[in-house]
């Protein structure tokens, strides 16, 4: 994708993200239909569906040849990342949206032939837009994000860690994960993968590790983290395949090897 084409797509995507966010804020206190998907903790609301439909409708009108991967089912049956593919989570952090009315985001990643070209993560209630275009740096609203530091003491690291890692699980011995938590300075969990990627890019956290995410959870975040010099792999250090769900680690490169080799691989089941 050339720069002119990327810039044109970015401007439209940015407008649509901000418009969708404004619509969510206006409807925040209206009654919602809330359903469950895979389990009782996997929520979807009318707002999720309406927001994804808004993106799908706009994209197809302007770019009928572009493909869409969407969490709520309005996208295409995508079997490869050839061409231009929009990867959308209309509300990442639906449980937060339902229970807290904050700490959720719109996440839009745009890829061309498998390469992340554009990433947009919009913290709707805080009105913070994290954005990046390939090779042009990352921003929070209009302020450039600083590249991640090239040195970091591990015992001063802040990690985003889902609490399920500390319970018995099918991926890693929980004792090894408890050791990780005791070794770093602190851990946090925000309930929105998109926001946690944004916080890694911003330097609010040094890394984020999670058990199982899909393309719409991470596509935008990968682009943004890349632009500040971060790295994203599976939690075991393998390349990410956006067409498959996987455990995910995104972090400052200076702590990546320590997390993967020192804890994840040693505790792998």
- CATH code (residue 244): 3.40.190.80
Q: Are strands 158-161 and 138-140 parallel, antiparallel or unpaired?
A: unpaired
- Cα separation, 233 vs 5, in Å, equals 28
- Under the banding of pLDDT at 50, 70 and 90, the label for residue 37 is low
Of 88, 109, 144, the one marking the end of a domain is 144
- Is 216 in the same domain as 189? yes
Kindly tell me if the per-residue pLDDT of 260 is higher than 90. yes
Does residue 125 lie in a domain region?
yes
- Is 161 in the same domain as 140? no
- Is 89 in the same domain as 21? yes
Q: Which of 254, 244, 206, 248 is nearest to 80 (CA)?
A: 244
Kindly tell me if the per-residue pLDDT of 6 is higher than 80. yes
- Is 96 in the same domain as 215? no
Does residue 99 lie in a domain region?
yes
- Is 201 in the same domain as 236? yes
Residue 236's domain comprises 154-263
Residue 39 is predicted with a pLDDT of: 58
Q: Which of 191, 197, 90 is nearest to 138 (CA)?
A: 197
CA 113 to chain centre: 20
Binding residues, by number, are 71, 89, 91-92, 217
Q: Are strands 84-92 and 67-70 parallel, antiparallel or unpaired?
A: parallel
Give the mean model confidence (pLDDT) for residues 202-229.
96
**Residue range 150-160, pLDDT digits in tens:** 999 999 999 99
- Is 64 in the same domain as 194? no
- Cα separation, 232 vs 248, in Å, equals 7
Of 116, 144, 172, the one marking the end of a domain is 144
- Per the CB < 8 A criterion, the answer to whether 148 and 204 are in contact is no
Residue 103 is predicted with a pLDDT of: 95
Give the mean model confidence (pLDDT) for residues 205-214.
94
Q: Are strands 43-45 and 67-70 parallel, antiparallel or unpaired?
A: unpaired
Residue 40 is predicted with a pLDDT of: 53
Kindly tell me if the per-residue pLDDT of 49 is higher than 80. yes
Q: Is 95 helix (H, G, I), strand (E, B) or coil?
A: helix
pTM tops 0.75, yes or no: yes
- Under the banding of pLDDT at 50, 70 and 90, the label for residue 48 is confident
Of 144, 175, 210, the one marking the end of a domain is 144
Which residues, in sequence order, are bridge partners of residue 115? 112
Binding residues for Mg(2+), by number, are 71, 89, 91-92, 217
Of residues 72 and 209, the one with the higher pLDDT is 209
Positive or negative, the CA dihedral 190, 193, 198, 199 is positive
**Residue range 119-144, pLDDT digits in tens:** 999 999 999 999 999 999 999 999 99
- Is 168 in the same domain as 247? yes
Structure tokens, 214:
């899909």
How many folded domains does the chain comprise? 2
Kindly tell me if the per-residue pLDDT of 268 is higher than 80. yes
- Cα separation, 215 vs 70, in Å, equals 9
Does residue 83 lie in a domain region?
yes
Does residue 54 lie in a domain region?
yes
- Cα separation, 174 vs 177, in Å, equals 5
């Amino acid at each position: 994708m050339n720069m002119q084409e990327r810039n044109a797509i970015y401007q439209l995507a940015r407008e649509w993200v901000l418009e969708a966010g404004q619509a969510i804020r206006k409807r925040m206190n209206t009654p919602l239909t809330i359903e469950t998907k895979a389990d009782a903790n996997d929520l979807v609301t009318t707002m999720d569906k309406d927001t994804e439909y808004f993106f799908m409708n706009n994209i197809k009108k302007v770019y009928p040849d572009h493909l869409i991967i969407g969490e709520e089912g309005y996208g295409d049956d995508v079997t490869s990342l050839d061409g231009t593919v929009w990867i959308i989570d209309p509300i990442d952090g639906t449980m937060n949206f339902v229970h807290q009315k904050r700490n959720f985001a719109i996440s839009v990643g745009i890829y061309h032939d498998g390469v992340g070209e554009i990433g947009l993560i919009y913290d709707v209630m805080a009105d913070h837009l994290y954005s990046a275009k390939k090779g042009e740096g990352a921003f929070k609203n209009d302020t450039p994000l600083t590249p991640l530091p090239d040195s970091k003491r591990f015992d001063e690291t802040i990690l985003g860690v889902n609490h399920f890692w500390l319970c018995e699980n099918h991926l890693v011995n929980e004792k090894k994960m408890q050791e990780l938590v005791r070794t770093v300075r602190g851990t946090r969990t925000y309930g929105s993968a998109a926001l946690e990627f944004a916080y890694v890019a911003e330097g609010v956290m040094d890394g984020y590790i999670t058990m199982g995410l899909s393309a719409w959870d991470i596509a935008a975040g990968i682009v943004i983290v890349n632009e500040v010099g971060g790295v994203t792999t599976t939690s075991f250090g393998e390349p990410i395949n956006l067409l498959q769900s996987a455990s995910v680690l995104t972090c400052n490169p200076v702590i990546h090897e320590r997390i993967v080799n020192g804890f994840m691989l040693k505790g792998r089941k």
